[in-house]
Amino acid sequence: MNILLGIPVYNEEENINPFFEHLFSKLPEEINKIIVINDGSTDNSKKLLENIKKKYDNFSIEIIHRYPNLGYGASMIFLLDYAKQNHFDFLITMDCDRQHRVEDLKRFIKQPFSFDVVSGSRYLPNSPKCGIDPPKDRLKVNQKITLKLNQIYHFRLTDSFCGFKRYKLEKIHPECFEEKGYGFPLEFWSYCYYFKLSIKEIPVARVYITDDRSFGENLDKYKIRYKYYLNVLKKANKKFQQFNSELCISK
């Protein structure tokens, strides 16, 4: 099985060096290649990433710099498309803000390859807790959106926003996605339902080092962010109801 590790980056100058040093010291041998998408960082991330590539040139790592910033969802769509176009069987995505533990990569690799999606959850009973408690507003939004998804699609999710995932690319068609912002996971979950993808949640560490991370613009406001997520879900649900697999693929 060919496995690609995809890492989206935006303004992570404080985390890049410690994250990648730890990653390369613990990288599972099953990972065939790493691709990093720097999505319009305005800090020193670009230079740091190029230094990482030179320092670890014995690993298969590709750095993509894209300007201007297009959004988290745009980075995820790019990674899925890159993996598909380059004939990888699986894509694993993780963040480099040190809220995803390198040690948890093995958990995704050990899961049966029959699952279409293996999704990390920070809120399963056996999910380790590290650092400070999650911001209350983020936890509340996650809980409400997760409940909504479970009600609509009869899922049993406990964490709808964790970006630590393994995707089986056979049934995933990146051209079906269009949400470029932080609401991308909601479009993806809707796709999973209508395209009948099998899902398994696994415990990953709940790591919060700081509570001052920003979503940008007005999305730091709880009510605005929640409304935005609901609109993304409504739009995605309508779209995938109207398109069956064949129509969407030929889009």
Whether residue 246 is predicted with pLDDT greater than 90 in this model: the reply is: no
Is there a contact between 68 and 162 (Cβ–Cβ < 8 Å)? no
| Per-residue buried b or exposed e for 134-172, using 16+ beta carbons within 10 Å of the residue's own CB | bbeebeebbeebbebbeeebebebbbbbbbbbbbbbeeb
Residue range 17-45, pLDDT digits in tens: 999 999 999 999 999 999 999 999 999 99
Beta-carbon-side half-sphere exposure of residue 210 (alpha carbons within 13 Å): 7
What is the reported pLDDT for 245? 47
Q: What number of other Cβ atoms are within 10 A of residue 211's Cβ?
A: 13
Residue type, 187: E
Average pLDDT taken over every residue of the chain = 91
Among residues of the chain, what percentage have pLDDT more than 90?
Answer: 80
Per-residue model confidence as pLDDT tens digits over 45-57? 999 999 999 999 9
pLDDT (0 to 100) of residue 213: 57
Task: Give the pLDDT band of residue 216 (cuts 50, 70, 90).
Answer: low
For CA atoms 169, 175, 181, 187, the dihedral sign is negative
- Distance in angstroms (rounded) separating the CA atoms of residues 118 and 197: 10
Q: Which of 4-18, 42-56, 214-228 has the lowest mean pLDDT?
A: 214-228
Q: Report the pLDDT averaged over residues 133-151.
A: 89
CB 141 within 8 A of CB 226: yes
The predicted-structure confidence for 93-135, as pLDDT tens digits, reads as follows 999 988 899 999 999 999 999 999 999 999 999 988 886 677 7
Contact 137, 212 (CB under 8 A): no
Domains by residue range for the chain, with CATH: 3-249 (3.90.550.10)
The closest of 120, 94, 112 to 205, measured between CA atoms, is: 120
Burial 176-207 (b: 16+ CB within 10 A, else e): bbebbbbbbbbbbbbbbbbbebebebbbbbbb
Pairing of strands 90-93, 165-168: antiparallel
d(CA 176, CA 36): 22
Closest Cα partner for 167 from 139, 141, 192, 145? 192
CB 172 within 8 A of CB 249: no
pTM, 2 dp: 0.92
